[in-house]
Structure formats: structure tokens, C-alpha cells
Structure 1
Amino acid sequence: MRVAGSPAVGHVLRAVLGNWVAGNWVDGPWAAGTTMTYQWALNGVPIAGATRASYVPVTSDLNKRLTVKAMGTKPGSLFQFYVSDSTSRVYIAYIKPTAPVAISGSLTTGSMLSASQGAWDVPGVTLFRRWMRNGIDIPGWQAFQDKYRLTAEDLGAKISVRTVAGKYKYRNSVPVVSAETGVITKGLILSFKAPAITGTAKVGQVLSTSAGTWNVPGLTVKYQWYAGGVAVLGATSKTFTPALAQAGKTLKAKVSVSRGGYIPAFAVSAVTAAVAR
């Protein structure tokens, strides 16, 4: 008989019955009606309770060799037993990848990249990530997550992610590095809500405009007021007080936004009523 399987902690070993036939081992059951019992041993010492056809090595078995004895009884026949050859020393198995880790997502600043789970030869693993920029570890807590949001620092670079799989009773996998992305380009700044003017359009009355709402935080905001569709010289603050020169004209505010690593954008408010005197 023989032991089938790798003698690694947490891996199932099985006692395989059979016989040598013409110099070759042939797996197969013993004669019909034979009652089988088993005893696994560690360095020749029987393991208490290990009396089934399979055995799962535990941590205390490390660096020791396993054997199994199979005993067969059948009415009217002689008692028979066989002992397997020793296994190699029990070890802790490394987790191995069976499919690569891949990155998905838009390659523009502000976009979120996601790392796939990949596939491993052991189920239920925990994955440890580290995102890299041009092959160098990216600092900060975000670089240890399954997802990574691209920043202005990533502009012009290529991104990859290093993954290590771990599980109790197994050795961590060797680091698996994904393929690099293409070059990261500038992202778009998008307006979620246009600027809005508040106040009464009347000579001498202060008007104010909101900055609007945008998809990117931390923007630099600039303002420009228009009267009758023409930019008012010097009217570049959040508030504007119409003068007699603007009487009878409609007003609007243009809000321009920018941030390093992004394409600048602007949005324009709705026009007011004609400025009253």
C-alpha cells in the first residue's frame, strides 16, 4: 500500500490499497468481504485516534515522517496487514497562485482602480496588497487596500499591485505582481451642480454666486461676472454689486476650477433678470 498526497500541514493524506504486479504498483481494493482498519504513525509511533483511511497532518507533526498500516480481516482467511513507506518530512505548504491578479478601472487621475482576487490553490485565503507607481511602493494607507484612487502624483506613471495570499497553517505565497497599467492621464473635473446667483438684480444690491458642486475635491476656484454677455472688468470675486453701467442688462457668473493633475473646467450660472435701477 502507499500514501497518496503531499505531507503538508492541513493537506489530506490517503491510504491507497493495492499490490505490486509485475514490478508495478496497481491501486485497487483487497478481496471482497475484507474488513479494513488503519493506523497512522509518526516516526513509527502510532497517532492516537488516527485510525481512518485518511489523515490530515497538524502543526505538531512538522519535520516528522508518516506511515500508515492497513489491516485486513476476512472470515475464513488469515489476518493480513501492510505498512506503507514513510512520507517525506511533514512541512508547511506555500500558497500558490493559479491565476494572475489583474487591475481594472479608468486610467485617469481621480478614478478608482480595483485589483482582482486572482486564484489560489488554497480556498479562503486573505489577501495583502501593496500598490506601486512605476514599480515603487506608494506611501499611505490607501496603497494597502483592494482599491486605489489615482492622484495627481500618479500622472504620467504606470500602476501595478503586489499581492500576497495568507492563511492559517500555510506559508504565505510569494508576492504576485500584476501587469502594469498604461500611462495615467489627466482626469476630468465634472460639474454636479451649476453655480447659482442669489440676491436681487438691482443697482447697488449685492449679488452672490455659489461655486457649484464638482466631482473633485480641493479645487482652486475663480469667478468672472458678465453683464449682457460681456465680462465685467475686475468683477472676479464671489460677490458683485451692479452699477448704473449694468442697468437693464442680465447678469451671469462663470466659475472656473482647476487642480494639479486634472483638466481645468468651468460652469456658468443661469442669467438673472435685467438689472433694475
Structure 2
Amino acid sequence: MSLPDRLRAPLISAVVATLISGLLAYAPTAAEAAAKPDRRPASAGANTPAPGTRAAMLAREQRRAKADGLTRSRVKFARSSYLCVGYKACNQAGMGSGGYAAVNDKMYWRMYAGHNCTNYAAYRMVSSGLPNTRPWSGGGNATYWGTSVPSLTDKVPTVGAVAWWKANAGPAGSAGHVAYVERVVSATEIVISQDSWGGDFSWATVTKASGNWPSGFIHFNDLKLVNKAAPTVSGIAKVGSTLTASAGTWNPTDAKVSYQWYANGAAIPSATKSTLPITGGLLGQSIKVKTTASKTGFAKKAATSAATAAVLPGVLTSTTAPAVSGVVKVDKTLTLNQGAWNVAPDSTTVQWYADGQPIAGAVTGTLKLTPDLAGRAITASVTASRAYYDPIAVATAATAPVALGTIKAKRKPTMTGKAKPGQTLTVDPGLYRPTDATAAIQWLRDGQPVPGAVGTTYRVSGADLGAKISSSITVVRAGYATTALTTPVTARAKATPRIKVERVRLKHGVKLRLTVLTRLVPTVEGAVQVRVQGGFRQKVVLRHGVARLRVSDLPKGKRALKIVYLGSPTVARVAKRGTVSMP
């Protein structure tokens, strides 16, 4: 796996240039350390440095290095390898120096203080608990580290180890390089923290594919997985029960934990989960669990729980409670899932209940919900039996009360006839399931019940003028929800009028008096449209059922006449044709 991209933040170009241009990793030999003023801490036997300027001290160190044959070695990592540069920037990014930033003016393992890979790596080892005494004799340059302690050096990266590069290997120069292994991402990718001569503190990613893989890893004092609290076993140790193990407490906390259960000290085959079902074969044996923590870059660590008392004989128990499934509604069928048991029963029996009362004959895995069960809560009980176990009865949770059934229309209601006064409308109520459901018909005028208007027929009267007629069919059956359907509404009921025309001859035209009347409406309102052959057209509003108009300016002779009453909410549209003679 690779580190998240967010860790590969862009580096300040000037700092990166400084890193790449001059990383020197070396330390003085024992002879050099003896000749040089010792700047080790007092606890390590350090002497107070001789007075002098920093420049003078640096020049003196350079002369001694040259006299001892030490050479500057430059470390060259690709810019993309760096995750952070500088104590402050790295600390803000959550990648600290382990406290080195505050004490880098001191010498560790007789390494030069300050920005120096060997002094930093030595500091991390001393911080891990090792004494501030170089654990080998001879040169302190990074290239000598791995060869000086071959028994501690191998090719396996671990967290807390020192990553070591021989002289001129990978990114190292002629003095080699060392760094501290912060993380092991995989067998081919690690994250290191390092300091460098002439450069700065940094964190970086190293992969085998980059060509910068260390020459080896020195395991002075690797970080270890630590068990802070042993695993524990909870549950009752008896046949048929399940024991549960805790993982224990580990540091680092993100270590992966595996399990192995034991009976009387012997590993139980395939018992590698955090839970252990206790079978009859474990009767009388003491149980314990061992948890093993693992994390990439760390050696595995195991811890063992205390042993339980000897496993007791068990009881037949339900591990998965029986349950009822299905739609809880009249005409539907419920199904019983008998659940699961810690051991297989020899036999089971079933009984269904309604509101806690046994339902006669309901002893199978299914139950048809009949109308008499409407409104009652349903449960089922499963009784399991097995030789050498006590029988046990387990009930399901109660269902909601059985809902009323739904009456279904096999054929929807229809209505025939015309909504005209004196005409009869007829409704077919339709067909329904169940077939013994009964239908009641109520006639509606503009959606409101017409008092006393029930049954399959309805005679339209003057009271219906201007209204739309429909019917409501209510279907009922015990144990079922009432169903109500409505037929489509008719057009508005209207009276059919007649038009009476009176003509009065004038000197230059004709005067027409038009009367629109019907016996069902005392006074017809609305308007009439009059057309006379030759181009005459006029719309006239009725006044008390009468319209008057004058037709003139047409050629002499007989002309076709068309009168159209345009209708009203209670009176239908009607037309009349005739002739008129123009003088």
C-alpha cells in the first residue's frame, strides 16, 4: 500500500535544494572523540566544550575529520520522496523528531551534534532505552554501523530499527547514511525520519523500486507490540452456550488480533474466532483463549486469558428465536420460521395463538388468516425436545392485530342513460371478491347524496338541472375493510328549450322578437346568435327569456334565417332554422 497523497505536500524549494545539495553522514572515531572537546551530556561523562566561536569549532572539526580520513558524503533522495522538511514543518504535519529538536546540540554515542544522521539515529536509540554508549568499537561513520554489529543487522524492516546504507549505496555518499524507521508500509516500502550533515531534519518515503532501499536494518532496540491487558473470556462455560473473548489491550492500538481457543491446554481445531460455541465434546474441560497481535514492521506478540471452570452440562436453548413472517391481513398466510437451536432437537411441535388463545387445528408451519381473526394479535410457539435435555417452548413476538381484508373489484361499477329530465339512469354495481360481499348504492348530485335516492336506477328531474349525477357504491363484508367506489359523473342535466320567432315587417327591414322557453325553467337566461343570409350576424342577450332585434340593409327577397340559443347552466343549447322576407 502507498502513503496518502496528502502526506506528500510540496516542499519549500529552497529547503529541498539544501537537503539534496549537502547531506553528510559521519561521526568521529574514538581517537577523534578523545582529541575533540566532548559535548556529550554530563550524564554520559561529557566535558564542557572549549571556548570558541562556532566557525572556529567547525573549522577544527573539519581539520580533525580530514586528519582521520573522514570524508563528506552527500545523500540524494528524489524530491518526491520527502514528506516534510524541518523540525517545525514536520511537527505541524504530525511527523516529529522524537524530541531531538530540543537536544540536538548534545552528542549521542560520540556522534557529532546538530544536523547529523548518526547523532539523530543514536539519539533515537538512547531515547528507546539504550545507554548513551556506542555499542561497538571503531569508526562512527554511518557506513560502519551495519558491519560493526552484524548479529543485529538483517534485511527485514521493522519499526524502531535503524535503516542503514553502506557508503555510496542508493542515496548515500562516501560516509554512508542511517535513519530511523517510523513505519513499515509493506515489505517494499518504509517511512523514515532522518537528519543530515549540512542539511535539515526530514521524513521521507523509501521504496525498493526507487533504488534507494537500505543496505540493511539494524535491530538495536526495535519497537515492540506490548500487551497492556490480557484477553478475557465472558459467558457461561456450559454445553450449548457461546463464550466470547476480548482481544486484550495492545500498543500500538491498531494491531490486528487473531484468536485461538484451547481446551485443557490443547488447541481446539478451527476455533479461531472471537466466539466459541461450547459443544458436548468440551464437557468437563477448562477453556481459555490466546490472542496474537500482529502489525507490519513489528514482531508478533501473544497473550493468554485465564482458564474457565470445567464446562458444565448444557440445556437446549434457542440461538435464533422463531419468527412469524408475512402480511398480517385477512386472506393472507403467515409463515413460521422455527429459528435455530444450540443443538439440533430430535423433534419440534407448533401451536398458533390469537390474542393468547390457541387456534384450533393450527399446528403446522403456516396459518391462513380467516375473517374471524381480524383485529387479533397472532403468535406461535415452538416446543423443542431432545434426549437428555429438558424440553423448551419458545414463543414468537406478537404480530400487530390482523388487519381487515381488502375487498377487490372483479368488475367495476358502470352507469348508463342520459342526464335529462324525465330520463332514467341505471347503475351496474359490479362484481367483487369475496363474492358474498354486499353492495349498497347511493345516488349523488354534484357529489352530494340525494335524499332517498338509492337502488340501481334514478329518474332525472327538474331538481337536477345544472347538476352532475353519479352514484356511490359501498361494498361491505365482515372481516373486511369497507370499499367505496364512485361511477363517473354525467354531463350537467339540462332542460331542452324551444325558440319562438315573431316577425314584424318594417319599411326598410324586419323586426324580430325571439322567445326561448321551457316548462322546467320559468325564465330562460343567456344569449341568442342570429344569422340572416346576405351577411347579417348579431348576438343578443335575453331579457326575461325574450330578445329583440332589427334586421335591415339586406337585399329584398326571402332570406335564410338561423337562430342559435347558446345555452346556460340549466338549459341546453338549441338551434332553429327558418326564413325571413326582406321588403
TM-score scaled by length of structure 1: 0.49
Larger Rg: 2
- Structure with the bigger RCO (C-alpha within 8 Å, sep 6+) is 1
